[in-house]
Structure 1
């Protein structure tokens, strides 16, 4: 190879899946959605160049899914055999919520598209296998995971909600709701309120799952 050819070759790849994922996530965080041409503009490349790395919008969504899920703490999934399933699910739920809460605008995109990302499929495989080992039948395990995920998604969005979610107008009579609102400290931060609601709901879900566990 001549010296000129060596100098002409870029030393760092101009485009890869990681850069595409980062650009897409930044766009979603700012605008709430993305388009493939917008990603190309952000990366200063031709739109056609992206298709060498991802399969259009669907491919970018799976990159985003892996990007968010990769931020989760997977230690509990790698130590499933050493911990009670309730504890593993609780840790999984908290980590899942934290990862989504960091990018709340991405939730509607990921929640309304089919999951295909290998990293995510692997995580679900571990959780489903753990539930089967605990004694839950196959017909119930996916429903349990879906119910937990639905709760997590709602809880993640709650972290991005306004500090005050209920304002009772003068025309409405809601004395019991008013009492409940008064019971919450006025200086309580939004995250504190959201965390209390999340932990209460998570405890109820796990208690219900435990109660439904068939005797072995």
Structure 2
């Protein structure tokens, strides 16, 4: 049987190629025409699976959000639930930082995002937080996660020691930060998350409506 001249397309293959393109060149580097070129097909072939680029991006965002773990709320411990959610949320976003601005725009109608928002809100209210506070806690956690995922503190420093010598005496070791970026960024996030949770426990103890 002769091989087809045109590569066989599937939604999964299209999403995988599109995410590879975004990971490599950013959101601005993705177009249906360019994606078609990557797949070895005509752009018209993609529209049978996805009407618009945004439809495609929503499905990619949905797949990324499927990796976010909200099972920590099942035992009724809100702090454990938030910790598991926040860490897995950051990991899912940090794996694809160029997708973060699109995902961060909101859940919209994305099923995976809405299921997780529902689980987080239900876990917090079920643990005793008033609904308004549950909403604010979810929002604040998202701010923390998105900020950590979209940027690296440590990689923002130059690795040339001469940049800091003499002029910035308190940054004499700053040239080493990028070398240890993964640990610094991870530990910095955990510190911020822990301080946030401690503050919640101290300032806003759960209570019944």
- TM interval, shorter chain, is 0.7 to 0.9
Aligned to 1:3: none
Greater alpha carbon shift after TM alignment, 146-155 vs 62-71: 62-71
**TM-score between the two structures when normalised by the length of structure 1:** 0.77
Q: Which runs of 5+ in 1 are unaligned?
A: 1-6
1:68-107 equivalences under 5 Å are 68-72=64-68, 74=69, 77-78=70-71, 80-107=73-100
Aligned to 1:19: 13
CA deviations over 1:41-61 (Å, ceiling 9, x no partner): 222223233222224122111
Contact 2:72 2:84 in 1 (8 A): no
Distance 2:3 2:176 in 1: 61
2:56 pairs with 1:60: yes
Greater alpha carbon shift after TM alignment, 20-29 vs 81-90: 81-90
Question: How far 1:9 sits from its partner (Å)?
Answer: 9.9
Question: How far 1:145 sits from its partner (Å)?
Answer: 1.2
- Where 1:131 maps in the other structure, the secondary structure is helix
Cα pair distance change 1:184/1:202, threshold 3 Å: farther
Contact 2:72 2:85 in 1 (8 A): no
Cα pair distance change 1:186/1:47, threshold 3 Å: closer
Cα pair distance change 1:46/1:184, threshold 3 Å: closer
Cα pair distance change 1:184/1:165, threshold 3 Å: closer
Contact 2:86 2:145 in 1 (8 A): yes
Divergent runs of 4+, >6 A: none
Which structure is higher in RCO with an 8 Å CA cutoff and minimum separation 6?
A: 1
Aligned to 1:121: 114
**TM-score between the two structures when normalised by the length of structure 2:** 0.79
Contact 2:36 2:42 in 1 (8 A): yes
Partner of residue 29 from structure 1, selected from 23, 29, 34: 23
1:150-189 equivalences under 5 Å are 150-159=143-152, 162=155, 164=157, 178=170, 181=171, 186=176, 189=180
- Where 1:136 maps in the other structure, the secondary structure is coil
Aligned to 1:190: 181
Greater alpha carbon shift after TM alignment, 102-111 vs 156-165: 156-165
Question: How far 1:154 sits from its partner (Å)?
Answer: 1.3
- Where 2:155 maps in the other structure, the secondary structure is coil
Q: Which runs of 5+ in 2 are unaligned?
A: none
Distance 1:65 1:79 in 2: 22
Distance 1:183 1:8 in 2: 62
Aligned residues: 199
Aligned to 2:198: 207
